[in-house]
Amino acid sequence: MHYHVLGLGPVGCLLAHNLRRVLPSTHGISLIHKTRLNELALLEKGSIQVDTYGAVTTSGGFLSETFENTNQSLQQQEGDRAQDLKHIQSLFVALKAQHTVNALKSLTYRLSANSTIVLMQNGMGLYEQLIRDVFRNPSQRPHFILACNTHGAFTTRPFHVVHAGIGSIDFGIAPDSQGRDFEAGFYDENIPHSQRRPRLSDITSPTDVGSARYTSLRDTVAALLLLEPLSTSWKTYAELRLIMRRKLAVNAVINPLTALMGCRNGELTRLPFASRTMHMICWEASLVYAAEMRRESTLWLEDMQSRGVDSKDVTLPSLPKSLTTECLEDEVVRVAQLTKNNVSSMLQDVRRGKITEIDYINGYLINLGRELGVRTPVNTVLCDLVKMRYHIPLDQML
């Protein structure tokens, strides 16, 4: 099995480093660099170093490609080896959301229905955009794993990562276009409830006649589960979406406010003005989530009725407590205090004059709210202000 990592910032390097340390050397790992200079920096250094609270570990033995000209990079490999590497079996994407669609468009010729893509971005809506705009044909679409990362990391120099905040990585597999149930182990009624676990065998097994299509997915999930230092956990897709919604609400508060105010995360918990704004952002997010769940429940009920199921006594699920305004506010405060000395990724982008992830965070809430008939005026203003900040830099001289 061969793995590729695209996006070699702090998260991508942390991921590649841990993959290399847990996988046997027979499993190759290629790093896709943005430019030839980045590739040369790693070749000169020879390894990735990760500093976790003063304990430094090193990983090496990576293969390298340059994203700007992957064909030329592959041609520099030996013939058969280049052909093996041209097709991407498993791709971990640690780019920011705003850069991911165009990057994957450029790699579609190397991906197939037998490939697996792991999305590691902040925000929501990226997967839906990819299957709508890039991988339209379900029968030719790669498998997708969505991951929610809460680790904190930053680089002090190329390929030297400080793992500053120990978090976790929750992941789930997007529904199969062919109808295979990857989550049967979560619900197996032949097993006591306390013993139900996700099973790799539900993805594929050696005796599976369709194993060629699902082998990369199984091996990618197995690799993720080996990443114990990153506290990885396989969730149902529904549970993962719940986790992602909570994280989105946190990011919808912390990222734009710190980007606009030029402050560290912890500053947002000290001022009553910030608290009022936080409440309004969380209130709008909760309204959008409630409307979305009502729509999902209605569609589910209509599907049951179309199959002749008597649904008159069916109780539709209500909004989970964890997505109520109060619980979302509590989570924002918890994260802001836990990361009080951190500079948010959106503030870093603003300072560097880069496009931010705002369209996949507050923008996601705005677009979903518009689709569901829920007004989101506070999130709309924040989104516009962050985009204005991109065009009017913080250090602009008057």
Distance CA 347, CA 394 (A): 10
Domain finish residue from 186, 202, 235: 235
pLDDT band at 271 (very low <50, low <70, confident <90, very high): confident
Close Cβ partners of 72 (under 8 Å, ≥ 6 residues apart): 66
pLDDT of residue 206: 86
What pLDDT, in 10s, does the model give residues 17-66?
Answer: 999 999 999 999 999 988 776 666 676 667 899 999 999 999 999 998 88
Burial label, 189 (beta-carbon count in 10 A; 0-12, 13-18, 19+):
exposed
What pLDDT, in 10s, does the model give residues 201-239?
Answer: 999 998 898 899 999 999 999 999 999 999 999 999 999
Which residues constitute the domain of residue 99? Answer: 2-235
- Are both 95 and 220 inside the same structural domain? yes
Domain finish residue from 206, 235, 264: 235
**In this model, does residue 85 exceed pLDDT 70?**
no
Q: Which of 247, 321, 354, 387 is catalytic?
A: 247
Q: Confirm whether 398 is domain-assigned.
A: no
Average the pLDDT over 174-196 and give the result: 90
Average the pLDDT over 374-386 and give the result: 97
- Are both 52 and 69 inside the same structural domain? yes
pLDDT of residue 183: 94
Identity at 345, one-letter amino acid code: S
- Are both 169 and 245 inside the same structural domain? no
- Supply the DSSP symbol for 76: T
CATH number at residue 340: 1.10.1040.10
Domain finish residue from 178, 207, 235: 235
Query: Residue for token digits 């097993």?
Result: 191
Q: By the 8 A CB rule, do 64 and 86 touch?
A: no
Per DSSP, the residues of 337-358 read HHTTTPPPHHHHHHHTT---SG
**In this model, does residue 97 exceed pLDDT 50?**
yes
pLDDT band at 67 (very low <50, low <70, confident <90, very high): confident
- Are both 248 and 132 inside the same structural domain? no
- Are both 205 and 290 inside the same structural domain? no
Distance CA 123, CA 103 (A): 17
What pLDDT, in 10s, does the model give residues 156-177?
Answer: 888 999 998 899 999 999 999 8
247 is catalytic: yes
What pLDDT, in 10s, does the model give residues 119-136?
Answer: 999 999 999 999 999 999
Q: Confirm whether 11 is domain-assigned.
A: yes
Q: Confirm whether 255 is domain-assigned.
A: yes
- Are both 284 and 369 inside the same structural domain? yes
pLDDT band at 138 (very low <50, low <70, confident <90, very high): very high
pTM over 0.85, yes/no: yes
pLDDT band at 80 (very low <50, low <70, confident <90, very high): very low
State the total domains in the chain: 2
Q: Which one has a higher pLDDT value, 115 or 273?
A: 115
Region of poorest pLDDT, from 55-64, 109-118, 361-370, 385-394: 385-394
- Are both 49 and 75 inside the same structural domain? yes
- Are both 231 and 252 inside the same structural domain? no
- Are both 200 and 273 inside the same structural domain? no
